[in-house]
Structure 1
Amino acid sequence: MPPSNPLPPKENALFKRILRCYEHKQYKNGLKFAKQILSNPKFAEHGETLAMKGLTLNCLGRKEEAYEYVRRGLRNDLKSPVCWHVYGLLQRSDKKYDEAIKCYRNALKWEKENIQILRDLSLLQIQMRDLEGYKDTRYQLFMLRPTQRASWIGFAMSYHLLGDYEMAISILDAFRTNQMKGTDDYEHSELLLYQNMVLAESGQYERALQHLQKFSSQILDKLSIKETSGEYYLKLKRFKEAESVYEDLLKRNPENVMYYEKLIEAKQLVDPDEKVAFFEVYKKEFPRAIAPRRLQLTEALAQPVFEKLVDEYLRHGLHKGIPPLFVDLRSLYAIQDKAETIEKLILQYLENLSKNGTFGPDPSEVKQPASALLWAYYYAAQHFDYKKDTDRALQYIDAAIDHTPTLIELFIVKGRIYKHAGDPVSAYQWLEEAQAMDTADRYVNSKCARYMLRAGHVKRAEDMCAKFTREGVPATENLNEMQCMWFQTEAAAAYKRLQQWGEALKKAHEVDRHFSEIMEDQFDFHSYCMRKMTLRSYVGLLRLEDVLRAHPFYFRAAKVAVDVYLRLDQHPLQDAPQTAEPDTENLAPSELKKLRNKQRKAKRKAEQESALQAQVQVKREQHHKARQQQEQGDPEAPQLDELIPDKLARAEDPLEQALKFLQPLRTLAADRIDTHLMAFEIYFRKDKPLLMLQSIKRAHRLDAAHHHLHDCLLRFQGWLDDNLASLNPAVAAVITKEIEPMVRGRSTEEMAEQFVSQPGAARCQAGALSAARALRRLRPPRALHALQLATSLDYPDLSIQGCVDVLDSLRDGDFGPCEKEIEQYIEACRKKFPYAIAFKPASELSELADDHVADDAPLQPKEIAVNN
């Protein structure tokens, strides 16, 4: 339809030039032409020109002015599709997609067949997963542009995503027969494979197989044809054909583990001996392949057979000098007999290689290279470290270092041994030595930085990473820009252990922003993938984005954030007290001299830090300015609020902030009990009984015997005892009915007693601590028994971190005043874990604290607890 407020020819030509300038990112020229129109008193309030001026200003980063002009234009011309479209673009640039969709729909009221508005609307609908709306919009585009390929593909995909497979298949068939005749290229091949994917997802495997065979000559991805047809044959239980397909695939790639598994399924092998014999055949057929040899070890159960096979495998690995040999075989250690067999063989190799230079006791055997002994030491160190025999592990790794002191892998393993032994400081020092041997190795550099973070040395870790980040930009800025989430999740955990709550929250929020950015980045692919016909990958991308926040990186960051916010809700930060001037008159001369030296050092350090901060700020501003110039004010990249640690740590409502991190997990990580336990902790503090009940029920379905769930149930029942009478009768009735299967008419005291007396529930260290706390809280006369239960060291899953948790609980007063018991417990833990810093005497801790440079924080047991 024509504009509701048309311009005369001269001004109309200027308006068209504004549009061209916007499309070509010539924003300043666009503002100049807009000024020429608006300077004419007759058109000073022309709505569409005002809107385009606002859109151009938005591209230059002048957001407030942009909104003012666009809204003014819209008020002057409410029936203009251009004004509504521009307002939608402005909302889209601020990621307000729901508002942008409303604007586009208003624009379409006045111009129903505007192709550009319909396209923009369809992009927003697929971004927001409004699949019904997307289908309707794609139908309109299809009717308006039936000859365009994107119209057909988008229309078919809308039905596919909604699960209407037959309609999607019929549209794709019609498109292929009418629009793509005589084509035989990559795009046509991808279309056929996408259509085949839709057929398979509809469950029509026979039809999908026939389709694949019919068009195999036109599909260029021959490997995909074979793999997909093999899958279909297995689904259809046509095992002979599947067997033939996977045998051909193994000839193509004998190292593909999946092919062996599928071939076993096709041959219908179940007995372990049959599987061992199966792999024996392929060992002979592919003598250089590793996969059949390794898979055979998993299936071999008979002791003599396994010993013979693993002997061959170990000899080959040690002779060749394969560093990840232990990592490769570690999964076998789940079976005790296999672990003992491997240990026996490794010790034999060490003895024979030291004496004769051979693997066996017979001196006439073929002599092995000198490196075989080195790799045997290397394997033995990792083996005994896995068994938590730290002394023997260190003995063998020291022997390996004496043998070849230039091998970096040895120092990495020694650091790992100390980490597992509870000494993260020594661990990172050995990693630092490894990094110094090859400063160009980014893997060792990153590994060293991670160990530094776990030791609480955040600044050192940043300096280590700075060796591989952009010069002239602070390492943390560059790592954040590169979305280096392993560093940020580790840093968040490190700051949490150091009780620097604001810094921990800043890192968690940075990770959260990365996930938001990744979700925004898919916007670029909605039209691109349809244009390039990468349809299978596009559907995979959409499905990945739907569950993106189920990723472990987000879960770790969210857990840190929730834990910190819960702590801040319970213990809000207080304003820092003003430091009083020390009384220098009554000090001895030596003490006064020490104080003056200390003050001078503190002043010098403060000046250095201030200068460094100023330098960093200048570099940051230069970096942001360069990025803005490079992006030319792209409206799709709005500036985010700066994350200020102190402001984050002083949030007005910490529980609401915690919920923002938790909500995605309740949908995407509902299979993890920690999700529901975190939800309970938040809702318990918010006094939301129905949501508390929901969290407990979901957790109960996952693991009814979980120790933390038991504690949550006790606290919930205690809350009900105090508050049930004040609840709405309908709510109280629902809660009473739903909680009964878990409570079974017992009081909180009875539940606590029964949990302690159960043979398995409290036989893990964390479970025993939780049960002991509840028993001490609910049955004060049983305090001694509760203390004994918590401080016992007889649990099969005893760990350093578990003992640190018990120690923290004792110090926090969960079991009342018990200074003597704390000392006894520390002494017992020190004997059990002699290398663990957490149980070192105060004198040794103070020596370590002198060298500890993690933000000048004192070395605390919680900070240096091991993170296996």
Structure 2
Amino acid sequence: MPSSNPLPPKENALFKRILKCYEQKQYKNGLKFAKQILSNPKYTEHGETLAMKGLTLNCLGRKEEAYEHVRRGLRNDLRSHVCWHVYGLLQRSDKKYDEAIKCYRNALKWEKDNIQILRDLSLLQIQMRDLEGYKDTRYQLLMLRPTQRASWIGYAMSFHLLEDYKNALNILETFLDQQQKGSNFDYEHSELLLYQNLVIQESGDLDEALHHLETNQNQIVDKLTFKDNLGQLHLKLKQFDRSSKYFKELVRRNPENTDCYKKLIQAMQITEPKDIVNFYLYYAKKYPRASPPKRLPLNYAEGDQFKTLVDAYMRKALSKGVPPLFVDLSSLYNDKSKVEIIEALLLQYVEALKKVGKYSESEVNNGPKEPASALLWVYFYLAQHYDYLNDSNKALNYIDDAIEHTPTLIELFVTKGRIYKHAGDPQKAYRWLEEAQALDTADRYINSKCAKYMLRADLVKEAEETCAKFTREGVSAMENLNEMQCMWFQTECALAFQRLGKYGEALKKCHEVDRHFSEIIEDQFDFHTYCMRKMTLRSYVGLLRLEDVLRGHPFYFKAARCAIEVYLHLFDEPLKDESAEQDILTENLAPSELKKLRNKQRKAKKKAEQESAQQREAQVKRDQHHKSRQQGDVEADAPQLDELIPDKLARVEDPLEQAIKFLYPLQRLSQNSIETHLMAFEVYYRKKKGLLMVQSLKRALKVDSKHPKLHSCLIRFNRFVAENKSTWDPSVQQVVAKESQPFFNGKDAKTLNKEFLTDHATSLRATLEGARMMYHLDEKCQSQALNLVTNIDNKYQDVNNEICTEILRSLKRGDFGSCDGETEEYVQRCQERFPFSAAYRPPCAADGPISGGGSNHASGNEENCNNSN
């Protein structure tokens, strides 16, 4: 690199060696050469040498020294592109991409045609999705390096991402014309052609896309993608005969691909369910070993035909012993008639297998008997079947029969645990998973499943110990799972801590999940150059589009929802100051009791200090272990993140602002979820932001206008407007009145609530929200509101354990005021209706020992509770 403050030949040679050492990661040697230059009195403040020394120090993890040297170098030579470039690299290593872009732009002022700086700038621009800036930078690179393939592809892609398809295609066409002269066509060229075709398709010119594929078919290596594209293009252009030809070839190539069958049906224009069933039956005969043509017709067949087909399908699976048979058929359970047919067949199988060893008593003389395991798998299926139908008693009876038949099959214990989970008893559920895990301690899946059930039972420490069997030695399981970005575990931990009231710990887990998503977004940085070089352009565009919507993933949604709920709770009920609380407690204590308390506090403090010392020791060991695993010097380009301290997170000054940080990505990427807008309303309701509440309600109404919780939001908003509009600015009043007018149609809150209860008289979930609002609007209506939700009689069509548990939580939370007597009566009713649910049992009963698999499922725990009393 030419210098704005040139060195004499000897020092210049040393400077070049510093650059070489940096490129080859020989950082200690680089520091030696830098020292030789800076020890010369004439060049102790040479800017570029100081900057390179700082960059080298940064790679050795000495960040503070690095920044000091680079800034010193920059002050001494502000006109040096090297100093600005190095400062930009330092900012990039700390993920401060906006600052790094500013540095690169400053560097380009003094060296506008520097390819390396332009390349680095383009990477940051695509990372930050500054597409206009990316286009300009790629154009400069193309002008400087017109013979490089990456220059053309990068410039074309910048137009593609900006949806300027015409210019993107012109650039690709020009580049391909240059390539055609005597070059050998390989996989990379094939990928480039398929990318070009993708751009043509996205431009909307399907005829041109089809012509392009057919013209270049000899140069395209990926024949599977080629035929799939041809089939889909012909289908979109309604050229059904040609389309069906390609999809038939794809089915012949892979008879297990369900998507190809569905596209072939569209191409053949088969619409009648009967004809679709015949289509699949034809292919079932043609490919007898393929599974889709046997399973897919069950979605369309009805009546006797369905009975015949599902009978044959289930018999084969039960004889072979296919554990996921129920999962395979569960999509059919939306049709009640099909459920009845399946149940009748299964009950017939049980009777016939017990009597004659066949699936039907009428087939007693037809061939050999079914294997002994067939009855086991029928029991197994029936247990899952009745569990799905919320008949826990029958489900448990059948799973007990299966365990009695074969007490060593792990799937049976897992299913029994799942039945208890659905019945509302997480304690028994996890204990059955423990039984399953004990049968095969080397099975990672069962281990993970067991840990998940422990977390559902709020046993965090036990879950961590269970996972420790498969995590790295020398590191706590919780930390290792965090390193591995095991988000299901962290999300379940957060929810468990939330239920336990350990809000700081819950928030810590939510923030860890949020950091994982930030890391995934940052990890795409490595692919910007790789994909351009390897020509995996279609995958690269897919990656960029995935990263743009990454925080719409269910893992992030669950963690964000948990964090928002916790922050809302902390706003409503802030944690008390422990020292002040202790002073209040000790004021009225006798001297002897005070002495005992002080001794207890001293012991607790000493124990906490010992634990923290052990943790520090373990951290030092881990750091040493980590260093020993790495060979040579390591580039420390990951910034040090702030430590997540639970107590600090739980005592944050602005919980609503913290909640909004989690809410923004959901509002952008999970707009189709009603929960997003309901949570937004709850946050803005507490912030008293009228316009933002209106926005949230309008969005929620678009998603699901009949959602019960939306009704309670509307009622509270109605009352909020009535109480606060006099304090608002006139323009705000006008906008709120205009936009909220369709919500209420001139009716007051009481009238709206009364109409809602009348319209949803058969829904317990909706009645719960209506009753809550009835009490909220008028506390004199307490008995009427309680009567609506505590009498779970037959008039409600959606009574289940989940809704009844939610009502119990609402009663205990005080949503209906003080109502201990009514709560006890309600608990007794629920206990009769849901005998397996732990929510309606005293704590000692819920924690009772596991039963031995007999039929007295509910009674054992109650006896233990009575005995302890």
TM-score (norm 1): 0.93
Q: Alignment partner of 2:361: what SS?
A: coil
**In the TM superposition, what are the counterparts of 1:655-674 in structure 2 within 5 Å?**
655-674=656-675
Question: What residue number does 1:323 align with?
Answer: 323
Q: Alignment partner of 2:129: what SS?
A: coil
Inter-partner Cα distance in structure 2 for 1:200 and 1:315: 46
**In the TM superposition, what are the counterparts of 1:150-169 in structure 2 within 5 Å?**
150-169=150-169
Question: What residue number does 1:434 align with?
Answer: 436
Q: Pick which of 76-85 and 409-418 moved more.
A: 76-85
Name the amino acid aligned to 1:157: M
Question: Does 1:726 pair with 2:727?
Answer: yes
Name the amino acid aligned to 2:145: R
- Cα displacement string for residues 357-394 of structure 1 (whole angstroms, at most 9, x for unaligned residues): 00001222331000100100000110011111111111
- Cα displacement string for residues 613-654 of structure 1 (whole angstroms, at most 9, x for unaligned residues): 544443333223443562844243122111111111111211
- Cα displacement string for residues 191-244 of structure 1 (whole angstroms, at most 9, x for unaligned residues): 111111111111122221222122222211111111111111101101001111
- Cα displacement string for residues 130-183 of structure 1 (whole angstroms, at most 9, x for unaligned residues): 111101100000000001111111111111111111221222222222135422
Change (3 A) 1:507 1:69: same
**In the TM superposition, what are the counterparts of 1:306-705 in structure 2 within 5 Å?**
306-362=306-362, 363-366=364-367, 367-576=369-578, 577-578=581-582, 614-627=613-626, 630=630, 632-705=633-706
Name the amino acid aligned to 1:564: V
Inter-partner Cα distance in structure 1 for 2:95 and 2:643: 17
Inter-partner Cα distance in structure 2 for 1:37 and 1:393: 81
Inter-partner Cα distance in structure 2 for 1:479 and 1:612: 21
Change (3 A) 1:639 1:299: same
Question: What residue number does 1:862 align with?
Answer: none
Q: Alignment partner of 1:820: what SS?
A: helix
Inter-partner Cα distance in structure 2 for 1:612 and 1:848: 32
Inter-partner Cα distance in structure 2 for 1:813 and 1:160: 57
Q: Alignment partner of 1:289: what SS?
A: coil
Inter-partner Cα distance in structure 1 for 2:394 and 2:727: 63
- Cα displacement string for residues 801-856 of structure 1 (whole angstroms, at most 9, x for unaligned residues): 3222211221222212211101100000101110111101355247579xxxxxxx
Change (3 A) 1:614 1:121: same
Q: Alignment partner of 1:385: what SS?
A: helix
Question: What residue number does 1:854 align with?
Answer: none
Question: What residue number does 1:81 align with?
Answer: 81
Inter-partner Cα distance in structure 2 for 1:121 and 1:180: 31
Measured on the aligned residues, the alpha-carbon RMSD in Å equals 2.4
Name the amino acid aligned to 2:108: L
Change (3 A) 1:599 1:259: farther
Name the amino acid aligned to 1:568: L
Inter-partner Cα distance in structure 2 for 1:845 and 1:156: 64
Inter-partner Cα distance in structure 2 for 1:625 and 1:42: 41
Inter-partner Cα distance in structure 2 for 1:483 and 1:809: 35
Question: What residue number does 2:211 align with?
Answer: 210
Q: Pick which of 123-132 and 712-721 moved more.
A: 712-721
Q: Alignment partner of 1:7: what SS?
A: coil
Structure 1 unaligned residues grouped into runs of 5+: 588-594, 850-868
- Cα displacement string for residues 261-306 of structure 1 (whole angstroms, at most 9, x for unaligned residues): 00110111111111111111111111121111111000112x1111
8 A Cα contact 2:757 2:766, kept in partner? no
Inter-partner Cα distance in structure 1 for 2:310 and 2:504: 51
Question: What residue number does 1:592 align with?
Answer: none
Per the TM alignment, residue 60 of structure 1 is displaced from its structure 2 partner at its CA by 2.1
Question: Does 1:143 pair with 2:143?
Answer: yes
8 A Cα contact 2:58 2:637, kept in partner? no
Per the TM alignment, residue 786 of structure 1 is displaced from its structure 2 partner at its CA by 1.0
Name the amino acid aligned to 1:237: K
**In the TM superposition, what are the counterparts of 1:218-297 in structure 2 within 5 Å?**
218-297=219-298
8 A Cα contact 1:428 1:455, kept in partner? yes
Per the TM alignment, residue 2 of structure 1 is displaced from its structure 2 partner at its CA by 4.3
Inter-partner Cα distance in structure 2 for 1:635 and 1:528: 21
Per the TM alignment, residue 107 of structure 1 is displaced from its structure 2 partner at its CA by 0.8
8 A Cα contact 1:680 1:696, kept in partner? yes
Inter-partner Cα distance in structure 2 for 1:628 and 1:585: 54
TM-score (norm 2): 0.93
Inter-partner Cα distance in structure 2 for 1:453 and 1:80: 57
Question: What residue number does 1:772 align with?
Answer: 771
Change (3 A) 1:613 1:305: farther
8 A Cα contact 1:411 1:433, kept in partner? yes
Name the amino acid aligned to 2:765: A
Question: What residue number does 2:860 align with?
Answer: none
Change (3 A) 1:67 1:180: farther
Inter-partner Cα distance in structure 2 for 1:433 and 1:604: 38
Question: What residue number does 1:834 align with?
Answer: 835
Change (3 A) 1:469 1:248: same
8 A Cα contact 1:474 1:620, kept in partner? no
8 A Cα contact 1:549 1:668, kept in partner? yes
Inter-partner Cα distance in structure 2 for 1:782 and 1:755: 16
Per the TM alignment, residue 689 of structure 1 is displaced from its structure 2 partner at its CA by 1.5
8 A Cα contact 2:80 2:110, kept in partner? yes
Inter-partner Cα distance in structure 1 for 2:466 and 2:121: 47
Inter-partner Cα distance in structure 1 for 2:558 and 2:214: 46
Change (3 A) 1:634 1:582: farther
Inter-partner Cα distance in structure 1 for 2:454 and 2:802: 18
Name the amino acid aligned to 2:161: L
8 A Cα contact 2:51 2:86, kept in partner? yes
- Cα displacement string for residues 335-360 of structure 1 (whole angstroms, at most 9, x for unaligned residues): 10000110000000000001110000
Per the TM alignment, residue 782 of structure 1 is displaced from its structure 2 partner at its CA by 2.6
Q: Pick which of 182-191 and 312-321 moved more.
A: 182-191
Inter-partner Cα distance in structure 1 for 2:241 and 2:126: 42
Q: Alignment partner of 2:526: what SS?
A: helix
Question: What residue number does 1:863 align with?
Answer: none
**In the TM superposition, what are the counterparts of 1:730-745 in structure 2 within 5 Å?**
730-745=731-746
Inter-partner Cα distance in structure 1 for 2:100 and 2:309: 65
Change (3 A) 1:86 1:316: same
Inter-partner Cα distance in structure 1 for 2:282 and 2:599: 77
Question: What residue number does 1:800 align with?
Answer: 801
Change (3 A) 1:184 1:3: same
Q: Pick which of 578-587 and 813-822 moved more.
A: 578-587
Question: What residue number does 1:61 align with?
Answer: 61
Inter-partner Cα distance in structure 2 for 1:606 and 1:847: 33
Question: What residue number does 2:47 align with?
Answer: 47
8 A Cα contact 1:377 1:397, kept in partner? yes
8 A Cα contact 2:437 2:450, kept in partner? yes
Name the amino acid aligned to 2:791: S
Inter-partner Cα distance in structure 1 for 2:496 and 2:843: 22
Question: What residue number does 2:9 align with?
Answer: 9
8 A Cα contact 1:358 1:365, kept in partner? no
